Amino acid sequence: MRPTEDTCERENTECVLYEDHRPLLREISRDIVPPEILDTPKRVNALIEFLRLSGAYSRAGFIRNPRAAPKFEEETDVPEDDDDEIGEG
């Protein structure tokens, strides 16, 4: 479902999921008015920061916790086997 102008405005101004990050938008537009936010590069950058930090409009709707890459020393040992040569069967 594509967001409508109404749902986007609600998400920016009312949705409790983004309350912690909303001050970023209120600093540049007290009432969070889209034409004001898109008025200057500085304001657009603030919007980008809001989106990055809040996860708003992402597929999940929030920021997922990044997973750390596995560490070699924490991987389980695979037993060595002489039969793993290609072409041998």
What contacts 57, CB < 8 A, 6 or more positions away? Answer: 3, 8, 11, 51
**Model confidence pLDDT, tens digit, residues 31-71:** 888 898 899 999 999 999 998 888 888 877 777 667 777 78
**Model pTM score:** 0.56
Query: Is residue 37 one of the residues assigned to a domain?
Result: yes
The percent of the chain in helix, strand and coil, each rounded to the nearest 5, is 45, 0, 55
**17-21, 45-49, 80-84: the lowest-pLDDT one:** 80-84
Query: Is residue 46 one of the residues assigned to a domain?
Result: yes
Number of domains within the chain: 1
Query: Is residue 19 one of the residues assigned to a domain?
Result: yes
Query: Is residue 65 one of the residues assigned to a domain?
Result: no
Whole-number CA gyration radius for the chain: 23
Domain that holds residue 44: 5-54
Please give the pLDDT value at position 54.
87
